[in-house]
Amino acid sequence: MIYMKKAAKKYPRRFGDRPDGRKLRSLDPLYCVSPYIMKKRSSSSNLFSGTLDITEVEKYIRTKRAEGNPKLGMLHFFVASYVRIISQHPGLNRFISGQKIFSRFGILVNLSVKKELTIDGQETTIKAYLEPEDTINDVYEKLQKEIAEGKKIGDTNGTDKTARIIKFIPGLALKFVIWFLELLDYFGCLPKSLLHISPFHGSIFISDLGSIGIPPVFHHLYDFGNIPIFLCFGTKIRRMVTDREGKTQERVFMDFTLAMDERICDGYYFSRALRTFRHIFKDPAVLDLPPDNVINDVD
């Protein structure tokens, strides 16, 4: 929870703020009203799919592995790209809670991890706490640390242990517990310890479906918690492409899907962020250095 304290120091706490984010007060009226009209995250989501040319990224990853990051892969690249996007488009790091719009403190990337690649292998969720200034090397180190901890056999993190306890609560009592937690979350009173371990609270949930050999699905957003974006990417696809000069060459592509809470920002803002996303895939070396400047969200 140190990341929350560090990020919150930039902004004095005001009435209406939450432990994980500050309330945005200067947004247009339409933004402020829309969460009351579109109450649920699942029914307020836009779905988007696209294809990325990852030929240059493949070369870049091979170079980074040779330089001392042997396990660096597409997952790390997607996460590092998202962090860079947030540094320039902080509106994507907003979330809706209690029908209010908040700007999140820090960047929280949620991932599902299979402890063993078997049908009965235990699955857990890890959370990587990142900063807008992080380079791909920073992302690699932080992510690998969390993944290694998450893959240990047994209930190794707070998410596993809490889920194990909740499992033994009788059904009717559990319905009341979940309702009470939702009530606390609505008013921004959920304990920091629960926010810290909850797989339903974060900036984005990323699913690497290519690692299990399937194409990306359109994953729903969770109504519980406050994650506004779900990104899935799939397997690599090799295609023959003809360039403008009529020459044919093999290129590598990857499909991805996004589910996005449309209440956090408008379509033009999303489109500018996607343009930055595609630019990074054309010039992956930009992730080697911190951004020239970090843009802060509105008040």
- Residue 167: the pLDDT is 84
Does residue 125 form part of some domain? yes
- Residue 53: the pLDDT is 96
Does residue 16 form part of some domain? no
Does residue 78 form part of some domain? yes
Does residue 5 form part of some domain? no
Average pLDDT value over all residues in the chain: 92
pLDDT reading at 9 higher than 70? no
Give CA separation, 61 vs 76, 156, 283, 291, in Å. 10, 30, 12, 20
Does residue 53 form part of some domain? yes
Task: Please tell me the total count of domains within the chain.
Answer: 1
Q: How far apart are CA 107 and CA 159, in angstroms?
A: 19
pLDDT reading at 219 higher than 80? yes
Does residue 14 form part of some domain? no
In 14-157, which residue ranges form alpha helices assigned H by DSSP? 29-37, 55-66, 74-88, 136-150
What 3-state DSSP class applies to 96? strand
Does residue 7 form part of some domain? no
Q: How far apart are CA 86 and CA 122, in angstroms?
A: 32
Does residue 98 form part of some domain? yes
**Are the C-beta atoms of residues 83 and 139 closer than 8 Å to each other?**
yes
What is the CATH classification number for the domain harbouring 142?
3.30.559.10
- Residue 2: the pLDDT is 53
Residue 158: is it exposed, middle or buried by C-beta count within 10 angstroms (0-12/13-18/19+)?
middle
Q: How far apart are CA 34 and CA 115, in angstroms?
A: 40
Q: Dump pLDDT digits (tens) for 73-109.
A: 999 999 999 999 999 999 999 999 999 999 999 999 9
Neighbours of 172 (CB within 10 A): 8
Instruction: Provide the domain limits for residue 129.
Output: 21-283
C-alpha count within 13 angstroms, C-beta hemisphere, residue 137: 9
Of residues 167 and 45, more confidently modeled: 45
pTM of the model: 0.93
**Are the C-beta atoms of residues 155 and 95 closer than 8 Å to each other?**
no
- Residue 8: the pLDDT is 57
Nearest in space to 260 (alpha carbons), one of 207, 186, 203: 203
Q: How confident is the model at residue 7 (pLDDT cuts 50, 70, 90)?
A: low
Which tokens belong to 233?
């990417």
Q: Dump pLDDT digits (tens) for 237-293.
A: 999 998 888 889 999 999 999 999 999 999 999 999 999 999 999 999 999 999 999
Dihedral of CA atoms 167, 169, 174, 178 in degrees, nearest 10, equals: -60
Q: Dump pLDDT digits (tens) for 180-199.
A: 999 999 999 999 999 999 99
